[in-house]
Amino acid sequence: MQSVLDYLKQNETRFIRELCDYLRFPSVSAQSKHKDDLAACADWLVKRCREIGLETKLCPTEGNPIVVAKTPRHRSANRPHFLVYGHYDVQPAEPFELWNSPPFEPRIDKGRVYARGAVDNKGQHLAHLNAVEAFLKTGTDLPCDLTFVIEGEEEVGSTSLGGFLKKNVKDLRCDGVVISDNGLPSLDLPALTYALRGIVAVEVVLHGPSRDLHSGIFGGAVDNPAMALCRLLAQLRDDKGRVAIPGFYDDVVPLSAYERKQLARLPHRDREMCKFLGVPKLFGERNYTTTERRSARPTIEINGLTGGYQGEGSKTIIPAWARAKLTFRLVPNQKPDKIRAAVRRHLQRLCPPTVRMEIESGHGGEPYLVSPEGAQAQAAMRALKRSFGRDPILIREGGSIPIVNEFKRYLGADTLLLGLALPDDNPHSPNEKFDLACYTTGMRMGACLWPELSKA
Amino acid sequence: MQSVLDYLKQNETRFIRELCDYLRFPSVSAQSKHKDDLAACADWLVKRCREIGLETKLCPTEGNPIVVAKTPRHRSANRPHFLVYGHYDVQPAEPFELWNSPPFEPRIDKGRVYARGAVDNKGQHLAHLNAVEAFLKTGTDLPCDLTFVIEGEEEVGSTSLGGFLKKNVKDLRCDGVVISDNGLPSLDLPALTYALRGIVAVEVVLHGPSRDLHSGIFGGAVDNPAMALCRLLAQLRDDKGRVAIPGFYDDVVPLSAYERKQLARLPHRDREMCKFLGVPKLFGERNYTTTERRSARPTIEINGLTGGYQGEGSKTIIPAWARAKLTFRLVPNQKPDKIRAAVRRHLQRLCPPTVRMEIESGHGGEPYLVSPEGAQAQAAMRALKRSFGRDPILIREGGSIPIVNEFKRYLGADTLLLGLALPDDNPHSPNEKFDLACYTTGMRMGACLWPELSKA
């Protein structure tokens, strides 16, 4: 084992250079203009996996291809088999002007690499790949078989992954899934995440007149779709952040006293978070701590709002339409389809007769909850302790990794969530970064994990 | 007089060609990138005025220059002096994709010219210029002195005009102002407009976190500025279009029974307007007709709404900020400054402590009202009858021509509003057009106007 850790140390510089190479691809899955960049990024990844010594295939889908890379000479009957998941696609980088350096030209500063996708998720799964390289190149016995499944549609709802798992159940059936696509409170506080929020995305468009109208000539005669939209959206949430859609909270499993106690272990100060986020005041439901609200309570967010004239100066119109992109974060046991139907029903009920409403369903993902007391979770906790040199904690996370539920559904496997993102990494935001210390510690964690997990 | 009318007829083709030349300038005053286009457009106009035989000056301002063109040999002591106002700047043409042909490449189809600025206002003041050309070129005596004042900042609040009038009071003092920058119900129903709405523009920005945040990681902990904005704006208007700002209606002069009767003469059918505008249903305050609501009642409109991710697909963020462009249409005797203060006060009262609000004051213009029974109005009615061959009607208009109040304030002159825009001309909208019949009849109206007005 020491030779694996030594190898990781010795090759650190190259691993960092390779991460930068990987980050140069603008693999933005939400924007069709980046289709070729996604393909090029996947090709780079295939090449990298083959260099490591993995048996690698690029599997086409109806969307972006999935990279599947296996440790050689699988003997699945005799040894445990684990799957490592990651995604090579990234969020859009807009607004570009808020980046301190171009999002697809990785910049290293004070031990951090800045680029879109650095932490979400290229850096995190590359750490796992590097760990496996160390086993293979040093000739150290890996006590298990591993399959890496790295997709290119995570940021647009992993549309192709479910079908892919279903079609390849025989090949992919495994004893557990490992994902590092989430966070830890700090390098001193490694964490196993035992619950995730789910998500439902909905887009609402209100159509008014067939074209923008002069607000002097027609103002007073027709409804304003932007105002109608504001009035509609305003009714979806109260002034404390509680979602005002009938039935929305019906299936929410209340937090147990034990969970609330565990979550309270996570260091947090409202005042520091205010300062870090630049908000005048935190916000949210009464009777829940900030940690609870952001990880264990459902929410509604307006992700985007568009209507009328957006340019410089003034344009005196009644806009023809207005649009909102909405997402709801869900908690166990809320069901995306049920929530989507409730949202749709409520919007339809609220929509005034003076505009025409169009509702587009976006992606959805179920919330996730697994007991942290199982044998694999305990094995992961040991690996965390060894690699970080610190006692790990148990947390819930507010983000969504919808495919965790697909692994359960199709492969019957639970997922160990071993995130390497620090709280200030800005995933989905300008100036996304990844700490190189998280990258290198993450490689060690990957190395320590397989022996522990294989014993579990 | 017949020779004037004959001249107009004989030169129609050239006048149409010249209109098209004028429309090719993308003189969009709201967008700083068009600064040079505005200058080129003003130069073209100066040249045109000189060809007509007018003594023409290009007067620089802090903004776009003003074109001043006078009939030769002014003898102001002996003869009446009238001012004709127009503007060579135009609204932004966005959204370009909704135009059937490029907005700055005039297209003539079925007796209409399609282009941004065709009706608002290039075509309308060019008709007046052509009428004067006919007097000058045929050697027909003009019974009055005329000064054309054609500015380039009307669509951004005529910032420079007031100061210009003030500085040139001696030169511009006149017996009346004529403006064709508004509408008539149809070619069969020429109209004198006796009232206009005013306007106040306000921009509201709500700032939340210092950058867009991952909605999974932070959702539940901080307020969403887009949602906060929607909730704020929703409280500015009720579901029937009544503005819900304290004091907003305090100064509104109620419509008299006589006025309501006059307004009812204007042909209007709700069902036809629905169809023309493409809305499922008309909208507005109870107890007012559609004509009253759109011309004689104040309104609030959201002209533009922006926040978060606007692109393709989904981006799961809490946006850093959200913005709304608002305008209020005012009626006599609402005061823009007083309304602006009331809006600001109300917004500040409503703004939650979880976001930071920024309010930017935009342009403003007072409403206008003049008695239709004066001598000049009666003279204009006679000119309308002669040129259109139809009995004119009296109307109020919902649009704003703020400078009408500046002519009153600085020059002490009332304004005759003799609009040539048809209801389907789409000013401020894609596919703006001007009927060539309005253009040619407008020239005749211009010709008939000066003898009548000079007698009044």
Q: Which residues from B are below 8 Å from A432, CB to CB?
A: none
**Pair B32, B70 in one domain:** yes
> Which one-letter amino acid corresponds to residue A321?
W
CB-based contacts of B223, cutoff 8 Å, min separation 6: A241, A279, A281, A283, B208, B352, B354, B355
Residues B182-211, mean pLDDT to the nearest whole number:
94
Final residue of a structural domain among A315, A330, A365: A365
- pLDDT given at position B75: 65
| CATH code, domain carrying B111 | 3.40.630.10
Of the pLDDT bands very low, low, confident and very high (cuts 50, 70, 90), residue A170 is very high
Interface touch B215/A307, C-beta < 8 Å: no
Interface touch A31/B399, C-beta < 8 Å: no
User: Any idea which residue has 């008014």 for tokens?
Assistant: A208
Of the pLDDT bands very low, low, confident and very high (cuts 50, 70, 90), residue A369 is confident
Q: What is the mean pLDDT of chain B?
A: 95
Final residue of a structural domain among B345, B365, B385: B365
Residues B34-46, mean pLDDT to the nearest whole number:
98
Residue of A nearest to B292 (CA): A220
Q: A329: which DSSP letter?
A: E
**Pair A132, A203 in one domain:** no
- pLDDT given at position A442: 98
- The domain in which residue A351 lies consists of 198-252+298-365
Model confidence at A418: pLDDT above 90: yes
Residues A11-28, mean pLDDT to the nearest whole number:
98
- Alpha carbon of A164 to those of A46, A82, A160, A167: distances in Å? 18, 17, 6, 5
Nearest to B417 by CA among B436, B434, B402, B432: B402
Tell me chain B's radius of gyration from C-alpha atoms: 23
Q: Which residues from A are below 8 Å from B278, CB to CB?
A: 209-211
Active-site option among B89, B259, B406, B435? B89
**Pair B77, B186 in one domain:** yes
Q: Is B37 a catalytic residue?
A: no
Tell me whether residue A90 is in a domain.
yes
Of the pLDDT bands very low, low, confident and very high (cuts 50, 70, 90), residue A85 is very high
Interface touch A354/B314, C-beta < 8 Å: no
In A383-406, which positions are buried (b, 16+ CB within 10 angstroms) versus exposed (e)? bbebbbeeebbbbbbbbbbbbbbb
**Pair B192, B203 in one domain:** no
Model confidence at B420: pLDDT above 70: yes
**Pair B50, B189 in one domain:** yes
- What's the rounded Cα separation, in Å, for the pair A112 and B309? 27
- What's the rounded Cα separation, in Å, for the pair B61 and B64? 6
CB-based contacts of B347, cutoff 8 Å, min separation 6: B204, B232, B357, B359
* Domain count within chain A: 2
Nearest-neighbour CA in chain A from B4: distance (Å): 34
Helix (H) or strand (E) holding A413: none
Nearest-neighbour CA in chain A from B70: distance (Å): 31
Tokens of B130: 């052509």
Pick the residue of A273, A279, A295, A424 with the most B CBs within 10 A to test the interface with B by mutation: A279
Interface touch A30/B305, C-beta < 8 Å: no
Nearest to B255 by CA among B361, B367, B128: B367
Tell me whether residue B136 is in a domain.
yes
Nearest-neighbour CA in chain A from B427: distance (Å): 6
Of the pLDDT bands very low, low, confident and very high (cuts 50, 70, 90), residue A77 is low
Q: Is B89 a catalytic residue?
A: yes
Model confidence at B315: pLDDT above 80: yes
Residues A275-285, mean pLDDT to the nearest whole number:
96
Interface touch A277/B218, C-beta < 8 Å: yes
Residue of B nearest to A32 (CA): B312
**Number of residues assigned to chain B:** 456
**Pair A361, A388 in one domain:** no
- pLDDT given at position B77: 67
Of the pLDDT bands very low, low, confident and very high (cuts 50, 70, 90), residue B165 is very high
Model confidence at A368: pLDDT above 80: yes
**Pair B202, B351 in one domain:** yes
Tell me whether residue B311 is in a domain.
yes
Interface touch A312/B219, C-beta < 8 Å: no
Interface touch B217/A353, C-beta < 8 Å: no
Pick the residue of A428, A431, A432, A433 with the most B CBs within 10 A to test the interface with B by mutation: A428
- What's the rounded Cα separation, in Å, for the pair A395 and A296? 10
Residue of A nearest to B91 (CA): A315
Nearest by CB to residue B314, choosing from A211, A277, A325, is A325
- Alpha carbon of A408 to those of A169, A176, A195, A414, B71: distances in Å? 12, 9, 14, 6, 86
Q: What is the mean pLDDT of chain A?
A: 95
**Pair A73, A158 in one domain:** yes
- pLDDT given at position B370: 79
- What's the rounded Cα separation, in Å, for the pair A133 and A450? 13
The ipTM of this complex is 0.77
| CATH code, domain carrying B234 | 3.30.70.360
Model confidence at A201: pLDDT above 70: yes
**Pair B420, B341 in one domain:** no
Interface touch A307/B311, C-beta < 8 Å: no
Pick the residue of A119, A283, A323, A363 with the most B CBs within 10 A to test the interface with B by mutation: A283
**Pair B303, B393 in one domain:** no
Active-site option among A154, A292, A366, A425? A154
Tell me whether residue A285 is in a domain.
no
Tell me whether residue B282 is in a domain.
no
CB-based contacts of A406, cutoff 8 Å, min separation 6: A158, A161, A162, A165
CB-based contacts of B266, cutoff 8 Å, min separation 6: B185, B189, B291, B393, B395
- Alpha carbon of A429 to those of A100, A411, B319, B331: distances in Å? 12, 33, 9, 45
- Residues A211 and B431 sit within 8 Å (Cβ to Cβ): yes
- pLDDT given at position B394: 86
Q: Which residues from B are below 8 Å from A211, CB to CB?
A: 98, 278, 426, 429-431
Nearest-neighbour CA in chain A from B320: distance (Å): 9
Tell me whether residue A279 is in a domain.
no
- What's the rounded Cα separation, in Å, for the pair B1 and A352? 57
> Which one-letter amino acid corresponds to residue B202?
V
Final residue of a structural domain among B343, B365, B387: B365
**Pair B48, B159 in one domain:** yes
Tell me whether residue A444 is in a domain.
yes
Q: Which residues from B are below 8 Å from A280, CB to CB?
A: 353-356
Q: Which residues pair with A108 in a beta bridge?
A: A113
CB atoms within 10 A of CB A239: 12
- pLDDT given at position A75: 65
Tell me whether residue A26 is in a domain.
yes
**Pair B418, B323 in one domain:** no
In A269-306, which positions are buried (b, 16+ CB within 10 angstroms) versus exposed (e)? eeeebbeebebeebbbbeebbbbbbbbbbbbbbbbbbb
